[in-house]
Amino acid sequence: MNSPIIALFQSMLSSLRDLLPIIVVIGFFQLFVLQQPLPNMIDLLVGTFFVVLGLTFFIYGLEMGLFPIGESMAYAFAKKGSVLWLLLFAFALGFGTTIAEPALIAVSNEASKVAAAAGAIGDSAEAMKSYADGLRLTVAFSVGFAIVLGVFRIIKGWPIHWFIIGGYILVDVMTGFAPEEIIGIAYDSGGVTTSTITVPLVTALGVGLASSIKGRNPMIDGFGLIAFASLTPMIFVMAYGMVI
């Protein structure tokens, strides 16, 4: 009965240990470099406590729910033996988790404001919303495509480095032709997709699938889907910028 409570407490200590370097760095520069007292000490302590608490529940929830369900669904689809359903699930998972990413929503909204201020799109709420939604859908579709490609690679046992090398060569080539205004957004889109929602489920899918297929090594074949999810948005968003 006490084991979940003990595990939660241990997870909280681990979260505090992970945050400790950040706390030490901020405290050092504030007190010894800027030589200023920490403002609103009570608020800082309460905020830090909430951060530790939130990180604890997030990590504990991943280990308790998202990782197991991702791996179990990968096992189930592999056992079912239907490649089509597995690929459809991979696309839906990549698309669904990305479209819900808070970081992507923030970047899309900020990009629409900057684009409107620069005159690239109309300076209206409708135009900015359309631009932001189009960017989010483009990134989500690209991640869905990336997960499909990554799952197919695991099934076939193809080396990952050829895909990554070829992808970044394509990114370099497209950078020379894409509008300057979209290049930075495209590069950032590759980073924001691999965030709190996408990473746990996609990682669990890759490891679970590689573990369930005979002849595949989870360490070699199970990882790498996140690299695909970071790479393809840069390509798709630059293409989106060329079209729009």
Question: pLDDT per residue over 11-48, tens digit each?
Answer: 788 888 888 888 888 888 888 887 777 777 788 888 88
Q: Contact 240/138 with Cβ under 8 angstroms?
A: yes
Cβ neighbour number for residue 204 with a 10 Å cutoff? 23
Structure tokens given for 89: 């699930």
Q: Contact 233/142 with Cβ under 8 angstroms?
A: yes
Of the pLDDT bands very low, low, confident and very high (cuts 50, 70, 90), residue 233 is very high
Q: Contact 96/133 with Cβ under 8 angstroms?
A: no
The whole-angstrom separation of Cα 101 and Cα 164 is 23
Q: Is the pLDDT assigned to residue 7 strictly greater than 80?
A: no
Residues 170-182 as b/e (b if ≥16 CB within 10 A, e otherwise) read ebeebeeebeeeb
Cβ neighbour number for residue 152 with a 10 Å cutoff? 14
Structure confidence by residue, pLDDT tens digits, 160-217 = 999 999 999 999 999 999 988 889 989 988 888 877 677 878 888 888 888 888 888 8
- Give SS3 for 119: coil
